[in-house]
Amino acid sequence: MVFLPTVCATYGFFNILYEGKNLDFNHKPVMLCECIQGLNIKPDGIYVDGTLGGAGHSTEIANRISEKGLLIGIDRDEEAICVAKERLSKFDNIKFVNDNHDNIKSILTNLNIDSVDGILLDLGVSSYQLDEGKRGFSYMNSGNLDMRMDQNQDLTAKDVVNNYSEEHLANIIYEYGEEKFSRLIARKIVKYRENKVIETTDELVRIIENAVPNRNSNGHPAKRTFQAIRIEVNNEIKPLYNTVIDCIDSLKSGGRLCILTFHSLEDRAVKMAFNDSIGKCICPPGLPYCVCGAKEKTKGKIITKKPILPSLEEINENSRSKSAKLRIFEKI
């Protein structure tokens, strides 16, 4: 875990100079009002933004806590941390942590904090990462096959595409991308790399376009495959269930956990963790009262019986909010 220095040079609000690179870190926080209301912020409380990004949500949290309160901003992307530091520079009660929110318990332990009043997780890839071609996240921009949220990790999209077996690739594309042409795409990738290493997003897009039959849909043929590879590179799904449980365990009584998801696999893991945390009764039907002890095992209550969805107005203003779902849990 790295605690970054507090000063970053800046050239205006959206243009940040980071190690000689001019960053246009435009960011529209998804369901901002709903997230802030869901956190039920106490002025003197301790709050965690586990996916700091462009600091859109964090700015609103910081505006609502007093000098006695504390905001902990976590992101695995050093560039995001740098930009957030600049945008939140007027606040003195923020700690920035360059780490993965999956490590929430160890992060709080290292900060000598036992529990917090609220945690926000905005899952998925940020607008900046998608728009910055060199990061290799987007099928719409040219760049090297990278897709790492943490630039210090070893595994890249290039490694996945060029080194995974055909079966492994097909399984990832099917499971994480829900792509029905996964086996055909994997076969074309393996065939192509027999003659040349696949190095760029453009190359991969062309392979996918040649593999996928013409289909009458609005989605780009490479969208699902790029999503699947990104999830594999950054290990976004496998630890998520345990991360949600760890976040709930890290809350104070009455504390809130708000999680924004952007595709079905994320939402499924969050929903399962929430349901398991309220303690499901497994007694046979017909018993006059519960004897399995479910009530004693509950950690709290689900505030959102159904996920909150973005308004049509927000979807029209920010197309990336279209697939968002917000679920909220409250610790007892």
Contacts of residues 289-298 at CB distance under 8 Å and 24 or more positions apart, as own/partner, are: 298/332
Look at the block and give the residue holding tokens 């779902």: 325
Residue 227 lies in a domain: yes
Does residue 45 share a domain with residue 58?
Answer: yes
Does residue 254 share a domain with residue 221?
Answer: no
Choose one of 203, 234, 265: the last residue of a domain: 234
CB 161 within 8 A of CB 198: yes
Does residue 263 share a domain with residue 326?
Answer: yes
CB 158 within 8 A of CB 85: no
Does residue 89 share a domain with residue 159?
Answer: no
Q: How many domains does the chain have?
A: 2
Q: Which two tokens stand for residue 297?
A: 């095992």
Residue 185 lies in a domain: yes
Q: Which two tokens stand for residue 317?
A: 């203003």
Look at the block and give the residue holding tokens 């043929």: 221
Sequential DSSP letters for 215-237: -SSSS-TTHHHHHHHHHHHHT-S
Taking Cα atoms as reference points, which of 186, 157, 188 lies closest to residue 173?
Answer: 186
Q: Mean pLDDT for each 10-residue chunk of the chain (332 residues)?
A: 36 36 60 97 98 94 97 94 94 97 98 98 76 80 92 95 98 96 97 97 96 73 94 96 98 98 95 91 78 78 96 92 96 96
Does residue 111 share a domain with residue 21?
Answer: yes
Looking at residue 199, the DSSP 8-state letter turns out to be: -
Distance CA 278, CA 275 (A): 6
- Is 21 strand, coil or helix? strand
Does residue 175 share a domain with residue 163?
Answer: yes
Sequential DSSP letters for 51-62: S-TTSHHHHHHH
Residue 313 lies in a domain: yes
Choose one of 164, 199, 234: the last residue of a domain: 234
Helix axes 166-177, 223-234, angle to 10 degrees: 100
Taking Cα atoms as reference points, which of 135, 226, 137, 235 lies closest to residue 185?
Answer: 226
The CATH number of the domain where 65 resides is what?
3.40.50.150
Taking Cα atoms as reference points, which of 39, 225, 22 lies closest to residue 122?
Answer: 39
Sequential DSSP letters for 127-171: HHHHH-GGG---TTS--BS---SSTTSS--HHHHHHHS-HHHHHH
Distance CA 48, CA 97 (A): 10
Choose one of 211, 234, 257: the last residue of a domain: 234
pLDDT at 17: 38
Distance CA 140, CA 228 (A): 16
Does residue 241 share a domain with residue 230?
Answer: no
Strand partners, 72: 48, 95
Helix axes 56-64, 32-39, angle to 10 degrees: 40
Looking at residue 102, the DSSP 8-state letter turns out to be: G
CB 128 within 8 A of CB 53: yes
Distance CA 27, CA 132 (A): 12
Residue 140 lies in a domain: no
Residue 53 lies in a domain: yes
Cβ neighbours of residue 253 closer than 8 Å, sequence gap 6 or more: 331, 332
Does residue 120 share a domain with residue 19?
Answer: yes
Q: What is the pTM of this model?
A: 0.85
CB 325 within 8 A of CB 60: no
Taking Cα atoms as reference points, which of 319, 162, 332 lies closest to residue 256?
Answer: 332
Does residue 107 share a domain with residue 243?
Answer: yes
Q: Which two tokens stand for residue 186?
A: 């994997």
180 is in which domain, residue-wise? 152-234
